[in-house]
Amino acid sequence: MVAFYIFGFKEGLKMIKNRRMIAIGIIVSIIFVIIGCVYLSLSQETLDKVAEEFGLSDSPLWAPPLPDYELPGLEGNIFANVAIGIVSTVLILAFTLAVGKALKARKEMV
Amino acid sequence: MHIPDGFLDLSISVIMFLVVIPFWIFSLRGMKKVLSDKQVPLMATLTAMFFAAQMMNYPIIGGTTAHLLGGPILAITLGPYAGLISMTIILFIQALLFGDGGITTFGANVWNMGVIGVFIPFLVFLLFMKIMRNEKGMLIGAFAGAFIGDVLAAIFAGLELGLSTLTFPYSVQIAVTAMGINHSIIGIGEGIVTTMILSILLRQRADLLQLPKMAPTWLPSISLDLKRD
C-alpha cells in the first residue's frame, strides 16, 4: 500500500508485481537449494569422469572461500550447505538487479 | 561442464577470453536497448533460480550426474543478450566463491555455457517458430534448441581440451567423443525441462515471452502471432 502512496497507482502496482515475482523466485530457488543439498548433492559430471579416465588434474589459481559449496570446517553439514546456497542465491539476485538497474539507468541517461 | 584451472593450455584459455569479449560487449549494448522495467527483476529472479537449479545433480547413466544449465530458457525468456549476461554472472560467482570452474578457464566456460548454451538454443528456437508458426513449433524448437545447445557446448569443451596438447595428451577426437556422447543424454534432460517450463509460461505468463523485442536486430523480423492449434 505504501508503494501506491509514494509512487502513484501505476508505478506502485508495477513495484508490487515485481516484488511478488522476486518473492516467488526466491521461494522456488530455496526449494531447489534444499533439494540440491539434501537429495541431489552427489556430483560426478561427465567432465570429472573424462578427467579421471585421462589423468587430468586441476591446478587452482585461486582458493575459493567456499570450496565445493561447503563451509570450511563444516563439510557435509546439510544445514550449513543449505544456508550457503540460500545466501549465495540472494547475493546473485541482488548482484543481477544491480547490474540491470545500472544498465537501465545508463540507457535513460543517453 | 565447468572446466577448472589447469585443464586447458594457457594459449587456449587466452583465445577463449578474446573470443568471448566481443559477445560481452554486444550483449551489454543490446541488452541496454531492450531492458524494460519488467525485465530487470525478471532477469535477476531467473539468474538466481538457475544458479540454485544448478545445485541439483541428477544421476544419468555410467555413474555420472548432470544438472540443468538453464541457458535455453534464459534465452527464450530474456533474449540472448540478457541470457548471456545472466549466465556470465552465474559462472563468475560459481568460480569466485565456490571454485566451480576456473579463473583462467572462465572465458572458455562462458563460451561453452554462455555463448553456445544461450545463442544456439535461441536461434534454433526462432528457426522452428518461423517455420511452424504455432505453439507446437515453439515447444519443439525449445526442445531441439536446448538439446543442440547442450551437445554443442560439450563438443566445444571437448575441442578445447583436445587442443590443449600440453595438458591433454590425447587426440581432439577422443576428447570430443567422450564429452559429446554423455552430453547427448544430458541434452535430452535439458530439452525436456526447457519444454516443460516454456509450456507453463505459455499458459500462465505468456507476457514474459517478448521475443520480437529481444531478438537481435540482425535477425529478420519475428512475429509472435501464432496460429492456435
Distance from CA of A8 to the nearest CA of B (A): 16
| B100-130: pLDDT as tens digits | 888 999 999 999 999 999 999 999 998 888 8
Average pLDDT value for residue range B167-177: 82
Quick check: ipTM above 0.95? no
The cell numbers describing B188, all together, are 535430452
The cell numbers describing B35, all together, are 531492458
Strands (E), chain B: 58-59, 65-66
Tell me which DSSP letter residue B37 carries.
Answer: T
Report how far apart, in Å, the C-alpha atoms of B19 and of each of A5, B23, B101, B109 are: 49, 8, 18, 12
What mean pLDDT is reported for chain B? Answer: 85
| B34-49: pLDDT as tens digits | 777 778 888 899 999 9
Residues of A in contact with B57 (CB under 8 A): 36, 40-43, 45
Cα B160 from Cα B24, distance rounded (Å): 20
Residue type, B108: A
CB contact under 8 Å between B64 and A103, yes or no, is no
Percent of chain B with pLDDT over 70: 90
Residues of B in contact with A97 (CB under 8 A): 40-41, 44
CB contact under 8 Å between A59 and B6, yes or no, is yes
Region of residue B8 (phi > 0: left; psi between -120 and 50: alpha; otherwise: beta): beta
Q: pLDDT tens digits for chain A (110 residues)?
A: 555 555 566 666 666 677 888 898 899 999 999 998 888 877 777 777 777 777 777 777 888 899 888 888 888 889 999 999 999 999 999 999 998 888 888 777 76
The cell numbers describing B81, all together, are 543478450
Q: How many CB pairs under 8 A join A and B?
A: 194
What's the full length of chain B, in residues?
Answer: 229
What's the full length of chain A, in residues?
Answer: 110
Q: Is B216 helix (H, G, I), strand (E, B) or coil?
A: coil
List the 34-63 stretch of A: residues with Cβ below 8 A of B: 35-37, 40-51, 53-54, 56-63
Identify the CA nearest to B161 among candidates B31, B46, B9: B9
Residues of A in contact with B67 (CB under 8 A): 43, 45
In DSSP terms, B134 is beta-bridged to B227
- In A, minimum Cα distance to B94 occurs at A69
Contact A63, B83 (CB under 8 A): no
